[in-house]
Chain A
Amino acid sequence: MAIEQVNHVALTLEEQLPIWLIVIPFVAAPLILLFGNKGLAWAVSFLATAFSLAISVILVLTLKDGGVISYHIGGWAPPIGIEYRIDATNALILMLISLIATVALPYAYRSVMIEINPKHHTLFYASYMLCFTGLMGIVVTGDAFNIFVFLEISSLATYILVAMGAYKDKRALTAAYDYLILGTIGATFFVIGIGFLYMATGTLNLVDLADRISDQGLNRTIRAGFGFIVIGLGLKIAIMPLHLWLPRAYTFAPSAVTVFLSATATKASIYVLLRFLFSIYHPTFAFDENIILIIFMPLAIASMFLASIVAIFQTNLKRMLAYSSIGQIGYLLLGASLMNQLGLTATLVHMFNHGITKALLFMGAGIFALKVGKVSYENIAGLGKIMPFTAAAVVIGCLSLIGIPGTAGFISKWILVQGALANGWWHIALLIVLSSLLSVIYVWRLIEILYVVPTKKVGTITEAPISMLAPMWIIAFACLFFGVFTDFILDPAQTAAQNLLSLPGGGIENSLGDGS
């Protein structure tokens, strides 16, 4: 990865963009440790993420009408060398990850001061950069084993970040430990699957893999590999029966970490799952279709309902939001399992919209945590009147979570319902609406606690600092903006869905013209 021996073909700046996305935050992490100064650490991380954000926006604008950027690491042409490969699909995810990482940093500065041991602040920023590098790497790379390596870079950094919550609540340690065990099992299952694919095809490049699988057809090794990959990624995504690590990790992690993780970590894994489901194994393989219909769709619907019902009975804001996240993962899977273009578009749009919505809500939770300590409902009761700006932004997030028209959450659910109707599955559309009603219940409970129930905290609590309010309101406006001006996300998402659904090897087919 550090090899910057540039291929003579990549002469323009634009062709160098993919590698900068990874190299800058990756180099920032050790730099932060060398400086060893909190303020400087924050500044370096902010610069690195902002730079990545700028690059991702350029990439989205370049690729939103189709096309592919392929970067050959060290000048070695794929499939021999490692390739970074960006089309509309991953450009969109890259933008989401870098946007959240950039906006969460100004917010994190104050939050980290309160919630993390002062000795560990520079280490926090270094881990944050590593986690960011890993997540971007998962999305940017076109090499199967490279995905595993980046997955582990981001996961290891995540375990550290979650464990840092131990300064406030020692249960963060066991939450991080559980996450480490399950996450490692997931990653190892993934790597077993990659091994099976390598046995059957002799290649690790995703494009080449897709070509060879569609050439030689399926055999038992390839199917077994598929099973291992789906289970492994399922653990990382927290698909319903494999979700046990998520509520505890999100509840006990420092607030800034939860903001970042809830919006990005599971989304990167979902992206990989989509790549494998649609680009590498194509849905026209009957067995793939069956797996999607028989396994994913019931699981998606189960998590939409069960997780939402569990969320209703929670009495801690962060834990409630964590269960709501599991429910939203259900929508993402459901969109994919509709297997039509609208459904996939809905998945991609919802990944972005739910990412910013959940980031906004967890930011609110983090501000409450800053002011009252634990965010259990009795502690945050009545804060709506004391902290009007924070609470108002939380309400916007709540509306977007339900999917009220005019917010970002509405757009994705609307397309999802349309996708279900396009298949003629009106009962699925009905279930989407019904499960949204469940989210009305838990969201209303929160709003009631914030505004109606009288507080018992007198006089000591003031409105949040501007450094935390500003990022929160940026995200809140984004929730409203993308709910009204939808094209900026819809265009690339439609192109991306089209890419994913085209013929075998589809999404990433038009590379390797000479097949070498």
Chain B
Amino acid sequence: MTWEFILGHMNYWLFIVLMLIGLYIVIAKGNLLKKIVGLNIFQVSVFMMYISIGKVIGGTAPILPYDNTGHVEYGLDVIYSNPLPHVLILTAIVVGVATTSLGLALIVRIREEYGTIEEDEILDAETLIAEKENEDREAWLA
């Protein structure tokens, strides 16, 4: 592992770090809103990976150049970045936005029903419901 290798793969290091930060937030945080933030960081890291692999060093935008007379010039030897990963990520961004908005909408509804968005408090409330159900069943068995 030379310095050149490490620096040359900078985009991957950043991807891995961001991805793990995102996953860690989703797992470790008890606040539902923070989990959504973590999920977003996690998704954005993947967007970054895709976009960075499409980049060609020294490449321009993948648009055919015009000549002096305003016509498109074909057959030029132009280096351009790969547009496909970028296009894919446009779709993935839309999916990510939809997921985020649905998650937020669910949080609003959870807040309305439970009065909290902290995971442990919700868990307590659900344990109470489950205990009530158990009491009903024991009353039935008796």
- Residues of A whose CB lies within 8 Å of any CB of B are 145, 148-149, 152, 156, 159-160, 163, 166, 170-171, 173-174, 176-177, 180-181, 184-185, 187-188, 191-192, 195, 198-199, 315, 374, 376-378, 381, 456
Contacts and interface: CB of A to CB of B under 8 A. Distances in A.
A171 B92 CA distance: 30
Contact of B113 (A173, A377, A378): A173
B106 A173 contact: yes
Contacts of B99: 152, 156, 180, 184
A141 to B, nearest CB: 13
Given A156-B99, A174-B122, 11 more contacts: A145-B88, A145-B91, A159-B102, A171-B129, A173-B106, A173-B109, A174-B126, A181-B35, A376-B137, A378-B136, A378-B140
A324 B59 CA distance: 55
Contact of A156 (B35, B50, B102, B114): B102
Contacts of A160: 102
The 5 closest A-B pairs by CB, nearest first: A378-B140, A170-B113, A152-B95, A173-B110, A177-B106
A38 to B, nearest CB: 22
Given A177-B110, A185-B26, A149 B95 contact: yes
Nearest to B106: A177
A173 B113 CA distance: 9
A253 B133 CA distance: 18
B126 A188 contact: no
Given A177-B110, A184-B43, A192 B49 contact: yes
B137 A195 contact: no
A170 B129 CA distance: 10
Contacts of B92: 148, 191
A170 B114 contact: yes
23 contacts: A145-B91, A148-B92, A152-B95, A152-B99, A156-B98, A159-B102, A166-B113, A174-B114, A180-B99, A184-B43, A185-B42, A188-B43, A188-B46, A191-B92, A192-B49, A195-B49, A195-B50, A195-B53, A195-B85, A315-B137, A374-B133, A376-B133, A378-B141
Contacts of B122: 174
B91 A456 contact: no
Given A177-B103, A180-B99, A192 B39 contact: no
Given A149-B95, A174-B122, A198 B133 contact: no
A186 to B, nearest CB: 12
Interface string B120-142: 00100010010001001100110
Range for the number of chain B residues in contact with chain A: 35 or more
B20 interface: no
Contacts of A152: 95, 98-99
Contacts of B129: 171
A195 B35 contact: no
A174 B92 CA distance: 25
Contacts of B95: 148-149, 152, 156, 187
A458 to B, nearest CB: 14
Interface of chain A: mostly helix, strand, loop or mixed: helix
A195 B88 CA distance: 10
A185 B102 CA distance: 15
A477 B118 CA distance: 47
A163 B46 contact: no
Contact of A149 (B42, B91, B109, B114): B91
A145 B91 CA distance: 10
Nearest to A189: B46
Nearest to B113: A170
Contact of B46 (A176, A195, A315): A195
B107 interface: yes
Choose among B46, B98, B107 the residue with the greatest number of A CB atoms under 10 Å from its CB. Answer: B46
Contacts of A188: 42-43, 46
B34 to A, nearest CB: 12
A20 B98 CA distance: 25
Interface in B57-82: none
B21 interface: no
A453 to B, nearest CB: 10
Contacts of A184: 39, 43, 99
A170 B106 CA distance: 11
Contacts of A195: 46, 49-50, 53, 85
A176 B53 CA distance: 34
Contacts of B126: 171, 174
A145 to B, nearest CB: 5
Contacts of B110: 173-174, 177
Nearest to B139: A378
Contacts of B49: 192, 195
Contacts of B114: 170, 174
Nearest to A192: B46
A163 B38 CA distance: 22
Given A180-B99, A188-B42, A378-B140, A198 B85 contact: yes
Nearest to A155: B99
A180 B137 CA distance: 31
B140 A456 contact: yes
Contacts of B103: 177, 180-181
A180 B140 CA distance: 36
B43 to A, nearest CB: 6
Contacts of A173: 106, 109-110, 113
Nearest to B123: A174
Nearest to B50: A195
